[in-house]
Chain A
Amino acid sequence: MKVKYFAWVRERVGKAEETIEPPATVRTVEELIAWLSSRSEAYAYAFEKPKVIRTAIDHAHVKSDAAIAGAREIAFFPPMTGG
């Protein structure tokens, strides 16, 4: 699946997007964040406060317990500050 990062999450991870293949045991957004955080210090820094991070699956906001099965694109970003 494709993963995108925005704003300071992107800056901390060090890339705007990537394709990942998490193991089958990673089933929810929360579990994906934990799995990403275990990959490197950069990810751990980006996701150090997982409750602050907002997630979208296929362009729609989802909660941290949402299932990631079938997702084409998952995006992680800080709370929005537009307008």
Chain B
Amino acid sequence: MTSPVTSCPVAIRIQEDDFDIAREIAVLTRSRTDIGAVVSFSGICRADDDSARVAALTLEHYPGMAEAEIRRHADEAISRWPLNGVTVIHRVGRFMPGDNIVLVLTASQHRQAAFQAAEFLMDYLKASAPFWKKEESATGTGWVEAHARDDEAAARWTKS
């Protein structure tokens, strides 16, 4: 049995503007009847970090490489799971607690692929996409340190 040929549009955007999750899902599923599941992950600016209360967060990125790196992992996700659409939006600029930072949407016929691909994309985005956060809090301003747990989260997807 041959699997049905499905197209998997990939949208990757890095922008200062906010995103509308409902609108992005509508764009992803518009005119499609082959999608049975859409998983969405949103990353939001959080006030409480490990130590100090965060007043604001500034996100810097490496233009060109950030898009290329996300694209590489989107392509890998498409090769590993039967996906019908991928959207990744990462905001850059200065954010306050409660602001949206990142959106990952994955669409598939069934939920398992969509759930797994969304988690895979977020794990790799955190570990390898060139973005950096700088935190402002009552105790001062400083670059956020990378966590080993983020590298470990990405490493568990490595095929052995």
Instruction: Write the residues of chain A forming the contact surface with B, with a CB cutoff of 8 angstroms.
Output: 4, 6-8, 56, 59-61, 75, 77-83
Q: Which residue of A lies closest to B131 (CB)?
A: A82
Contact of A80 among B68, B131, B134 (CB under 8 A): B131
B77 at the interface (CB under 8 A from A): no
Q: Which residue of B lies closest to A59 (CB)?
A: B65
Contact of A82 among B64, B132, B143 (CB under 8 A): B132
Q: List 30 A-B contacts (CB under 8 A).
A: A7-B134, A7-B143, A8-B143, A56-B62, A59-B64, A59-B68, A60-B65, A60-B68, A61-B128, A75-B62, A75-B65, A77-B62, A77-B132, A78-B146, A79-B146, A80-B128, A80-B130, A80-B131, A80-B132, A82-B59, A82-B61, A82-B66, A82-B102, A82-B126, A83-B101, A83-B102, A83-B122, A83-B125, A83-B126, A83-B129
Measured CB to CB, the closest approach of chain A to B153, in angstroms, equals 10
Measured CB to CB, the closest approach of chain A to B1, in angstroms, equals 38
- Looking at chain B's contact residues, the main secondary structure is mixed
Q: How far is the CA of A82 from the CA of B102 in the complex (A)?
A: 9
Set of chain A residues within 8 Å of B66, measured between Cβ atoms: 82
- Count B-side interface residues using an 8 Å CB cutoff: 29
Measured CB to CB, the closest approach of chain B to A60, in angstroms, equals 7
Contact of B133 among A56, A59, A77, A82 (CB under 8 A): A82
B145 at the interface (CB under 8 A from A): yes
Set of chain B residues within 8 Å of A75, measured between Cβ atoms: 62, 65, 130
Q: Please determine whether B126 and A77 come into contact, CB atoms closer than 8 angstroms.
A: no
Query: Of A6, A56, A81, A82, which is in contact with the most chain B CB atoms at under 10 Å from its CB?
Result: A82
